[in-house]
Structure 1
Amino acid sequence: MQTQGDMEPGTNPAVDLPEPRLAGTVSIEQTLAERRSVRSFAPAALDLDQVSQLAWAAQGVTRRADGFRTAPSAGATYPLEIDLLVSGMAEIPDGVYRYDPGRHRLEHRITGDLRRALHDAALRQSPILAAPVVMVISGQVSRTARRYGARATRYVFMEAGHAAQNVYLQGVALDIGTVVIGAFHDREVTAVLELREGEQPLYILPLGRTTDR
């Protein structure tokens, strides 16, 4: 695993994530019962194990033979992209990282703490600044449209909801809270994250340790 000390200026390193855990101490029934939207967080950074588990919950591969993932996808077209704005982590520098599900790793995309810029693009909603990690789910509708045509947009939005709920439930098991943010200026979020052509931001999920456990 690469750490902050291994990263040289001007490079675009990949960060291998710890393998996701496939068993825990909290039942799915308990996560459903305890799921709540959380808007304030304890003042502590997340660690790479937690980030690994949350990214995997959103879009991780569950079966290598066919690439099936944790969230259902219409026709296995997998239009979603997961970006993580991280701050204060000991293992990696502040920046924007894209999750690579096939290799279960983070691809460094942008250097620096962009939470303030994202906060401004999302109607100045305070959880974005309070959270040490912010996940942004975007969708590339064209991937699904090749197979499903005009219905693709509907299917992509449904898939984003599946992924976001996975993150909520995984967060409960990790004592990590989140809240879904859907009010933002699409063009501004796209600019902040330097999203690729055709990628549409769909969800913002601030992530942080809960304060009541």
Structure 2
Amino acid sequence: MTTSSRVDFPPPTEGTVPLEVTLRRRRSVREFAADPLTAAEIGQLLWAAQGVTTDRGGRTAPSAGALYPLELYAVTSKRAMRYLPGGHGAEITTERDLRHDLMIAALDQEAVGQAPLLVAVVAVPERTAAKYGDRAPRYADLEAGHAAQNLLLQAVALDLVAVPIGGFDDEAVGSILELPGGQAPRYLLAVGHPRT
């Protein structure tokens, strides 16, 4: 990690779009306008995936044993950062645009290189292993799916479009994001404003 600066996001808000509407409108969209997302939009998306919702630390996505074996990394044209759920902020991990490298690691899927925001959902099964043993990777993967769906539905509520991407070289993505040992990417979510 090349820097330790922090970004603070505006507090998450409550929208007015009914859940049923977001479910109906959610589609995988792979083309984006070039407009960057605001800090409020990025923060709201990350909060939807892993935000803290209770005084005891409960989060938006269910977690086996409330052990939270996920990390979220947000990548924009200017930087990459690791979401900090407790303070609703992010630690900047690099001040470079990693999207092109991630696109190559994602088997040249253009959506990865073009999206104004990429969110990498990363599993840390060891956090769950102490309680659940060999089932820890399964539970981490299930939670990754919960978090990804939350983010995708939040994107719809914000009038954004997104696509979940599971086809990528795990080792290459881990290297590009400079993930610590024991962390493994599970999902890439490309998000942006609709092109038209």
Q: Tell me the TM-score normalised to structure 2 length.
A: 0.97
Mapped to 2, the partners of 1:43 and 1:102 lie a distance apart of 31
Mapped to 2, the partners of 1:104 and 1:162 lie a distance apart of 19
* 1:52 and 2:36 correspond: no
Within 5 A, what are the aligned runs for 1:108-119? 108-119=92-103
Question: Can you list the C-alpha shifts for 1:118-167, whole angstroms capped at 9, x where unaligned?
Answer: 11111010001110110000000010111000111111110000000001
Instruction: Tell me the SS of whatever aligns to 1:84.
Output: strand
For residue 52 of structure 2, what is the aligned residue in structure 1?
61
* 1:71 and 2:61 correspond: yes
Mapped to 2, the partners of 1:76 and 1:210 lie a distance apart of 35
For residue 80 of structure 2, what is the aligned residue in structure 1?
96
For residue 186 of structure 1, what is the aligned residue in structure 2?
170
Contact conserved, 2:30 with 2:162, CA < 8 A, in 1?
A: yes
Contact conserved, 2:83 with 2:91, CA < 8 A, in 1?
A: yes
Contact conserved, 2:7 with 2:90, CA < 8 A, in 1?
A: yes
Within 5 A, what are the aligned runs for 1:38-187? 38-64=29-55, 66-87=56-77, 94-187=78-171
Mapped to 2, the partners of 1:169 and 1:12 lie a distance apart of 30
- Whichever residue aligns with residue 168 of structure 2, its letter is F
For residue 17 of structure 1, what is the aligned residue in structure 2?
9
For residue 196 of structure 1, what is the aligned residue in structure 2?
180
Instruction: Tell me the SS of whatever aligns to 1:40.
Output: coil
Give me the CA root mean square deviation.
1.0
Give the Å deviation of 1:177.
Answer: 1.0
Mapped to 2, the partners of 1:174 and 1:41 lie a distance apart of 14
Q: Tell me the TM-score normalised to structure 1 length.
A: 0.89
Within 5 A, what are the aligned runs for 1:17-36? 17-21=9-13, 23-36=14-27
Give the Å deviation of 1:11.
Answer: 5.4
Give the Å deviation of 1:12.
Answer: 2.3
Which structure's CA Rg is the greater one? 1
Mapped to 1, the partners of 2:49 and 2:3 lie a distance apart of 27
Mapped to 2, the partners of 1:204 and 1:131 lie a distance apart of 11
For structure 2, the 5+ residue unaligned runs are none
Instruction: Tell me the SS of whatever aligns to 2:53.
Output: strand
Identity across the alignment (%)? 49
List structure 1 segments (4+ residues) > 2 angstroms apart after TM superposition: none
For residue 91 of structure 1, what is the aligned residue in structure 2?
none
